[in-house]
């Protein structure tokens, strides 16, 4: 791996530190891609794009299979690197950064050809108008993928793999927070022909240079604040974008929920990856009737969660400070800490970043912990009168990338789920759907737009091109020149046939077409 070991915390501006937040130890350094080389990477990808696009989907899938095999071969390195750089327990690196990527690739290998198969459209109207139409799903060219640090493998593959299957070449800018994982990504992609998938390293400036190169499409996973900047920069080139942004996900615990399941599922949904997940539960709305019992079960579950083995550390200092600020602000404004809190759990030394799973109640909408995404191990519990209030608060207090309903009544879950404004709605589970490659993945409103994963994910990276032809080469078209009287009468008659509300108008139209059509068609070419 092209990461150089270092014994000091000093960082030159042309390098990125690979840091272990569990210990505070700097693992090594990785070189930043000089800004001047970003456009060169895009140019190389653009040169290679027609060749990659010309390979049929099955051929591309065969090459992507080599990448999948490489991932399996390097599984231990991935677990070691991702777990060290993110501070996550090894089982989480396996469950969230290896298995979902393998599943995603195998799924795309199987469905890419079907998702990209040209689709005949207008089968009735087209032939009547003398046209055969189909949609071809053509690649854009070069896709720039800009990704975050929380799942350095899965979120990177999520952003660029469907683009590759769709026939685009990609230039990937992984997060500067996890640069060793970015180097590993480069090695995993080596089985692909040179120029098909390049990795560039660096922070926001390198990402901005990638957007400005420009690319033919940008695939972004990250915060709404950066998403906005990228949308503005992409607008300069009219580059289309797909935006996978943050969430403030809500879980609704209804009066007939299986409370043991809800407590276990919500504890996991809030604290897996130390809560640093776009779709982790940050808000729980519990119907009053069961709130005491739910809270007791949830706190019992949280008290069994082992920091270190089950919940890792926060990944980097900026994130740690946001978590600390949100909890402090909430407490200062009257929230109550039911578990965890600043200073609880493993003590920090040498710059390590442990923050214990924290549960708050008495939270109000003016607290940062409800207003902003925390993206850390903090869960709030809010008691609500009934299902109605739960739905209203879930939709109004924050944005749901995903939202979940916890009830034993399937019909009720469906009814409530339909009213939740979210990119994904789940029943009696939460937080795992980004890893379901068959389901479209994306947000609403502030949590983003466009879709990754599933057939829609592949088509997201295509230009749906309408290809139309006519089998009747010996005939001109009614609306070509010249616009003589017969043409006008025939066009009027066609309007009568199509739009006339009564049968007699249609019959009159038909008569007029028969009487004038041939004359109108004369001299069209």
Q: Residue 289 Cβ, how far from ligand NAD at the closest point, in Å? A: 32
Contact call for residue 509 and ligand NAD (CB under 6 A): no
Contact call for residue 200 and ligand NAD (CB under 6 A): no
Contact call for residue 150 and ligand NAD (CB under 6 A): yes
DSSP summary character for residue 265: H
Q: Residue 324 Cβ, how far from ligand NAD at the closest point, in Å? A: 16
Q: Residue 359 Cβ, how far from ligand NAD at the closest point, in Å? A: 20
Contact call for residue 221 and ligand NAD (CB under 6 A): yes
Give the Å distances, CA to CA, from 25 to 13, 69, 351. Answer: 19, 32, 8
Phi, psi of 421 (to 5 degrees): -90, 100
98-101 long-range contacts (CB < 8 A, ≥24 apart) are: 98/71, 98/153, 99/435, 100/154, 100/434, 100/435, 100/437, 101/71, 101/153, 101/154, 101/157
Site for ligand NAD in 423-452 (CB under 6 A): 434, 443, 448
Contact call for residue 208 and ligand NAD (CB under 6 A): yes
Instruction: Please select the residue that binds ligand NAD; options are 85, 373, 446, 460, rule is CB under 6 A.
Output: 373
437-442 long-range contacts (CB < 8 A, ≥24 apart) are: 437/100, 437/103, 437/104, 437/107, 437/108, 438/107, 441/158, 441/244, 442/242, 442/244
Residues touching ligand NAD, count (CB under 6 A): 31
184 CB neighbour count, 10 Å cutoff: 26
Site for ligand NAD in 241-280 (CB under 6 A): 244-247, 278
Set 183, 244, 373, 455: catalytic member: 244
Contact call for residue 375 and ligand NAD (CB under 6 A): yes
Set 278, 282, 373, 460: catalytic member: 278
Q: Is 86 part of the annotated catalytic residue set? A: no
C-beta of 57 vs 227, nearer to ligand NAD: 227
Instruction: Please select the residue that binds ligand NAD; options are 18, 155, 512, 516, rule is CB under 6 A.
Output: 155
Contact call for residue 146 and ligand NAD (CB under 6 A): yes
Contact call for residue 89 and ligand NAD (CB under 6 A): no
Contact call for residue 219 and ligand NAD (CB under 6 A): no
Q: Residue 225 Cβ, how far from ligand NAD at the closest point, in Å? A: 6
Cβ atoms of 243 and 218 within 8 Å: the answer is no
Burial classification of residue 500, based on how many CB atoms lie within 10 Å of its CB (0-12 exposed, 13-18 middle, 19 or more buried): middle
Q: Is 309 part of the annotated catalytic residue set? A: no
Instruction: Please select the residue that binds ligand NAD; options are 30, 230, 335, 403, rule is CB under 6 A.
Output: 230
Contact call for residue 322 and ligand NAD (CB under 6 A): no
What does the alpha-carbon distance between residue 63 and residue 194 come to, in Å, rounded to a whole number? 12
What does the alpha-carbon distance between residue 357 and residue 305 come to, in Å, rounded to a whole number? 8
Give the Å distances, CA to CA, from 120 to 32, 116, 136, 454, 469. Answer: 47, 12, 9, 21, 12
* Residues facing residue 378 across a β-bridge: 358
Instruction: Please select the residue that binds ligand NAD; options are 15, 33, 81, 147, rule is CB under 6 A.
Output: 147
Active site (catalytic) residues: 244, 278
Residue numbers at the binding site for ligand NAD (CB under 6 A):
146-150, 155, 173, 175-176, 203-204, 207-208, 211, 221-223, 226, 229-230, 244-247, 278, 373, 375, 401, 434, 443, 448
């Amino acid at each position: 791996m092209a990461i150089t070991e270092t014994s000091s915390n000093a960082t030159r501006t042309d390098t990125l530190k690979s840091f272990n937040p569990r210990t505070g130890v700097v693992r090594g350094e990785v070189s930043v891609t000089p800004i001047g080389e970003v456009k060169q990477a895009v140019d190389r990808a653009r040169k290679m794009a027609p060749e990659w696009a010309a390979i049929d989907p099955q051929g591309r899938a065969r090459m992507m299979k080599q990448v999948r095999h490489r991932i399996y071969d390097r599984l231990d390195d991935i677990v070691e690197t991702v777990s060290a750089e993110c501070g996550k327990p090894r089982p989480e690196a396996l469950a969230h950064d290896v298995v979902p990527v393998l599943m995603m690739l195998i799924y795309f290998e199987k469905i890419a050809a079907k998702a990209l198969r040209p689709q005949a459209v207008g089968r009735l109207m087209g032939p009547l108008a003398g046209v055969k139409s189909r949609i071809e799903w053509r690649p854009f060219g070069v896709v720039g993928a800009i990704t975050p640090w929380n799942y350095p493998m899965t979120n990177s593959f999520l952003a660029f793999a469907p683009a590759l299957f769709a026939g685009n070449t990609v230039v990937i800018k992984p997060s500067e927070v996890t640069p060793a994982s970015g180097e590993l990504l480069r090695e995993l992609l080596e089985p692909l022909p040179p120029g098909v998938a390049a990795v560039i390293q660096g922070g926001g400036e390198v990402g901005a240079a990638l957007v400005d190169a420009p690319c033919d499409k940008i695939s972004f996973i990250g915060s709404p604040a950066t998403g906005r900047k990228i949308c503005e920069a992409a607008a300069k080139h009219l580059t289309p974008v797909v935006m996978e942004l943050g969430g403030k996900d809500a879980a609704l615990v209804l009066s007939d929920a299986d409370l043991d399941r809800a407590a276990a599922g919500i504890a996991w949904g809030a604290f897996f990856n130390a809560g640093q997940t776009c779709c982790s539960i940050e808000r729980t709305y519990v119907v009053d009737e069961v709130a005491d019992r739910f809270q007791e079960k949830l706190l019992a579950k949280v008290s069994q969660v082992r920091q270190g083995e089950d919940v890792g550390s926060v990944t980097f200092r900026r994130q740690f400070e946001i978590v600390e600020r949100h909890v402090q602000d909430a407490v200062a404004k009257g929230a109550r800490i039911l578990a965890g809190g600043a200073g609880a759990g493993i003590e920090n030394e040498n710059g390590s970043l442990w923050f214990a799973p924290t549960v708050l109640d008495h939270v109000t909408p003016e607290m940062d912990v409800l207003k902003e995404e925390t993206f850390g191990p903090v869960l709030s519990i809010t008691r609500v009168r009934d299902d109605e209030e739960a739905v209203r608060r879930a939709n109004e207090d924050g944005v749901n990338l995903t939202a979940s309903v916890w009830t034993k009544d399937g019909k009720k879950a469906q009814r409530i789920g339909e009213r939740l404004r979210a990119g994904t709605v789940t029943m009696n589970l939460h937080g795992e759907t980004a890893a379901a490659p068959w389901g479209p993945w994306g947000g609403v409103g502030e949590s983003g737009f466009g879709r990754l994963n599933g057939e829609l994910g592949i088509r997201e990276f295509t230009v749906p091109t309408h290809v139309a032809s006519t089998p009747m080469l010996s005939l001109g078209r009614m609306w070509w020149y010249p616009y003589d009287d017969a043409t006008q009468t025939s066009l009027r008659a066609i309007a009568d046939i199509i739009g006339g509300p009564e049968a007699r108008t249609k019959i009159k139209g038909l008569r007029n077409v028969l009487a004038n059509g041939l004359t109108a068609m004369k001299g069209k070419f």
